[in-house]
């Protein structure tokens, strides 16, 4: 069969090479299939290198096939992102998924996912109550309800996404086994461990024009564009396009278009995101909405199933 990996390679670095080598060592002779985001990350940020460049370097280090996660599929809350990515791998005949994890305990994740499936009605009821009464964001509310029901929750970035992958597998009874590989450094850490550094730290170095060859085989002839450099374009759209059209963006709900309009006067992308962020709305959610508006994703999409998924989870934004 085949081993599946869900990645952004933003940028591709030594930690990814280690993961691929681990897969080749533990599953010799099996194909490696990667599903990878296109131009934007799951959090709504511009990825530092084009899809083609990342695909080429992934294949150089052992990946057999790279599947593209389209904008509408990838710039989503964690649970929707996970569903789209895992189902692509399932349709590609993958029977194993490998991902990096802070806890490195897939058995515990599987146990929690099964309990949540068994208690789905109770979970949904408690979740809606908590969000309504406390005004918590969806991920924070999920974490608290999980603690109440199963005595466990996942707070760190790779564990959060990994658990969502496992939930998709469990909820849909997919014949896919899960394997984890412990991360060398934290997701947002600027700590360097030997030849390993986090992707976020490497992006910081790349934007500063510094050399990353110790940590990554990728090379950059020029500094990549950032989402903040497109803020002027976002302001122009927000000032020109009527709110009723902004409301047609699938990720916009609960009157959030008014919050965006109110804060569009902020001079920078960073200050705008900060002004819109609250206990209810995470920075990641605002960033994704900005990306959708920048790409004018308010027309009805042809993928009816995707729209149904987005509609179902509209109040469950990450």
Burial of 182 (0-12, 13-18, 19+ CB in 10 A): exposed
| CATH code of the domain covering residue 17 | 3.40.50.620
- What is the pLDDT at residue 179? 96
- Total domains in the fold of the chain: 3
131 shares its domain with 171: no
pLDDT digits (tens, 9 = 90+) for 34-74: 999 999 999 999 999 999 999 999 999 999 999 999 999 99
Q: The domain containing residue 245 runs over which residues?
A: 227-317
193 shares its domain with 123: no
297 shares its domain with 199: no
- What is the pLDDT at residue 18? 95
Can you tell me which residue has the tokens 């052992």? 62
170 shares its domain with 146: no
- What is the pLDDT at residue 167? 94
Average pLDDT over residues 94-123: 89
Q: Classify 181 as helix, strand or coil.
A: strand
| Selection from 295, 273, 291 nearest residue 282 by Cα | 273
| Cβ-count burial 263-291 (b if 16+ within 10 Å, e if not) | bbebeebeebbebbbeebbbbbbbbbbbb
231 shares its domain with 312: yes
User: What integer best gives the mean pLDDT of the chain?
Assistant: 89
Q: Classify 34 as helix, strand or coil.
A: strand
Structure tokens at 261: 């309009």
Q: Classify 151 as helix, strand or coil.
A: coil
- What is the pLDDT at residue 305? 52
287 shares its domain with 189: no
Q: Is residue 246 domain-resident?
A: yes
Q: Is residue 141 domain-resident?
A: yes
pLDDT over 90 percentage in the chain: 67
Can you tell me which residue has the tokens 């933003």? 10
Domain end (from 137, 171, 204): 204
Mean pLDDT is lowest, of 8-17, 260-269, 307-316, for: 307-316
User: How far out from the chain centre does Cα 24 lie?
Assistant: 25
| Cβ-count burial 11-30 (b if 16+ within 10 Å, e if not) | bbbbbbbebbeebeeebeeb
- Tell me the CA distances in angstroms from 281 to 145, 180, 268, one per residue in order: 18, 30, 19
Peptide bond into 11 cis (omega under 30): yes
pLDDT digits (tens, 9 = 90+) for 182-220: 876 554 555 666 788 999 999 999 999 999 999 999 999
**Which residue would you say has higher pLDDT here, 209 or 153?**
209
- What is the pLDDT at residue 128? 82
Q: Is residue 298 domain-resident?
A: yes
194 shares its domain with 49: yes
């Amino acid at each position: 069969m085949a081993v599946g990996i869900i990645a952004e390679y933003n940028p591709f670095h030594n930690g990814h090479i280690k993961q691929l080598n681990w897969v080749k060592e533990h599953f010799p002779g099996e194909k490696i299939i990667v599903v990878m985001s296109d131009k934007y990350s799951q959090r709504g940020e511009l990825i530092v290198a084009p899809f083609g460049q990342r695909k080429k370097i992934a294949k150089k280090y052992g990946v057999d096939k790279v599947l593209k996660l389209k904008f509408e599929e990838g710039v989503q809350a964690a649970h929707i992102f996970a569903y789209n990515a895992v189902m692509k791998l399932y349709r590609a005949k993958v029977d194993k998924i490998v991902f990096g994890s802070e806890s490195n305990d897939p058995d515990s994740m599987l146990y929690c996912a099964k309990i949540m499936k068994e208690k789905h009605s109770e979970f949904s009821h408690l979740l809606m109550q908590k969000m309504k009464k406390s005004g918590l964001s969806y991920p924070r509310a999920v974490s608290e309800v999980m603690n109440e029901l199963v005595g466990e929750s996942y707070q760190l970035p790779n564990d959060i996404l990994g658990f969502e992958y496992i939930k998709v597998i469990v909820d849909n009874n997919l014949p896919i086994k899960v394997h984890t590989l412990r991360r060398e450094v934290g997701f947002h850490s600027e700590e360097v461990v030997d030849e390993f550094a986090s992707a976020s730290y490497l992006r910081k170095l790349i934007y500063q024009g510094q050399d990353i060859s110790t940590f990554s085989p990728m090379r950059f002839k020029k500094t990549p564009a950032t989402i903040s450099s497109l803020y002027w374009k976002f302001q122009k759209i927000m000032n020109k396009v009527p709110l009723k059209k902004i409301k047609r963006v699938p990720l916009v709900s609960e009157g959030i278009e008014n919050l965006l309009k109110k804060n569009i006067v902020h001079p920078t992308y960073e200050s705008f995101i900060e002004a819109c962020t609250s206990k209810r709305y995470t920075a990641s959610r605002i960033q994704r909405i900005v990306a959708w508006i920048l790409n004018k994703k308010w027309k009805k999409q042809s993928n009816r199933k995707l729209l149904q998924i987005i509609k179902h989870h509209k109040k469950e934004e990450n």
